[in-house]
Amino acid sequence: MERYVLSLDEGTTSARAIIFDRESNIIGLGQYEFPQHYPKPGWVEHNPEEIWDAQFRAIKTALERAKVEPDQIAAIGVTNQRETTIVFDRDGKPLYNAIVWQCRRTAEMVEEIKREYGNVIKEKTGLVPDAYFSASKLKWLLDNVPGLREKAEKGEVLFGTVDTFLIYRLTGEHVTDYSNASRTMLFNIKKLDWDDELLKIFGIPEGILPEVRESSEVYGYTKKELLGAEIPVSGDAGDQQAALFGQAGFETGMVKATYGTGSFILANTGKTVRYSDNLLTTIAWGLNGKVTYALEGSIFVTGAAVQWLRDGIKIIKKASETEELATKLESNEGVYFVPAFVGLGAPYWDQFARGLIIGITRGTGREHLARATLEAIAYLTRDVIEEMEKLVGIKELRVDGGATANDFLMQFQADILNRRVVRPVVKETTALGAAYLAGLAVDYWESLEEIESLWKAEKVFEPGMDEGTRRKLYHGWKEAVKRAMGWAKVVGSP
């Protein structure tokens, strides 16, 4: 009987299930979107039941399309939007909406904590204190949902990022992996355990936290009534770490960029914990008793800026139109767009920056806005990679995510970086990484060397821009960013 690996890729706007064979080919895919909830300006929530429903439907669809029976699935891997915070009871029932990684409701709280404990948090967790991470979201829930803290003290509440919630629903086991734990701002990445001092700072009772395990091991088995088979759930990693694994980024200095709602750049730093003032230090994965670390630059808004062109100001009907519009111009003609809708992440870490379009003249049209949006994605990526290069040598950038289909963006990325940009054959590298981690745990794949041999480049973009143009364009970008920073403080907007 032919066997396969099922990957659950739970993102910010949709849940997907992808079935892979031994050669990394996709043989079945299901995908369902779920609603975004915005109770107040700057607040972002999901209904965990809607996440579960979308994910479960995606599993059923993937199995049907692949014409695969559940007992042909050798293992299940889970990868997920990170930092998003869910509290649920021991029956797996959510006790409040999930607070999404993009949510800014705790920005002021974090600013206060940062003033006193910023250095402690950075040293222990590798993270720059920000509302982005789970700790302040969990504190907010415990402080603001009536009765929740009392229930937590009695052991009636469980906390998890989305992977934990899904694995609990599938298996009944309350677990997470090193990579997701490292995004909570409560986990000591050197000691590899929840940190007592951080729990005290945020007022988090330790009993609500999941057990932290390696990224590739059997956590439990699916309840038979769900799929009709008891399948090992044996891979777990945050989406960006999973993408680095799926890109076969196993060596120190290997770098990948995932272009999604936001963009996330990870550089493998091996067994060494490297600190940067403006980047995050994170755990890439735990495997075979060893932990691999990474530097990460988290860019909050990239693909979401293209969505804004489509859904907000409605100058395009679909994302792919941006490439055609951008190529109608020889240059950006001085128009820059800083898409700081929810502040700026790495390397600026300005919670109060806001979006800005500058350089507009009477001749500015749709083409300029489309081009400026795509260029902004590439500039933001360069901002991060320049910081990484201070600590680790980088030869090329491996890319994945929906926007990599845009050849204009990929070529501009190579040009502005002055580095080769490589797009793989399998673009679903996040789901593939989770599948690899799950498969390794049950010997579906034997080794990292075997996985490395499966990775193939589809297209390589070589830099072709002259240095003078590159310098001039990037200088303009930096000047635009300066003007966007701190704007919410100036005008008192949320």
Is the distance from CB of 107 to CB of 132 less than 8 angstroms?
Answer: no
Q: If you ran DSSP here, which 8-state letter would residue 122 be given? A: H
**Residue 441 tokens, joined:** 């745990």
* Buried b / exposed e along 306-321 (16+ C-beta atoms within 10 A): bebbeeeeebbeebeb
Of the candidates 22, 150, 5, the one whose C-alpha atom is nearest the C-alpha of residue 450 is 22
Distance CA 61, CA 59 (A): 5
Answer for the pair 385, 418: CB distance below 8 angstroms, yes or no: no
The pLDDT of residue 349 is 86
Work out the number of other CB atoms within 10 angstroms of the CB of residue 299.
24
Distances (CA, A) of 423 to 31, 59, 256, 320, 400: 23, 27, 10, 17, 7
Write the CA distances from 400 to 101, 240, 258, integer angstroms.
21, 10, 5
On the CB side of 273, CA atoms within 13 Å amount to 17
- Tokens read off for 104: 């800014």
List, for the chain, all residue ranges whose pLDDT scores fall below the cut of 50. Answer: none
- C-alpha angle 294-240-259 in degrees, rounded to nearest 5: 120
The reported pLDDT for the residue numbered 449 is 94
Closest CA to 77 of 445, 443, 437, 444: 437
Q: Which residue has the tokens 């755990």?
A: 283
Contact of 170 with 220, CB cutoff 8 Å: yes
CB 329 within 8 A of CB 335: no
Cis peptide upstream of residue 347 (ω within 30 degrees of 0): yes
What was the pLDDT predicted at 277? 87
pLDDT at 41: 84
Mind listing the pLDDT tens digit for each residue in 256-300? 999 988 899 999 999 989 999 899 999 999 999 999 999 999 898
pTM, 2 dp: 0.88
Task: Report the length, in residues, of the chain.
Answer: 494
Helix (H) or strand (E) segment spanning residue 127: none
pLDDT on residue 83: 94
Nearest to 379 by CA among 470, 253, 254, 279: 470
Instruction: Please give the structure tokens belonging to residue 39.
Output: 């109770």
Q: Which of 261, 181, 381, 183 is nearest to 11 (CA)?
A: 261
pLDDT score at 307: 92
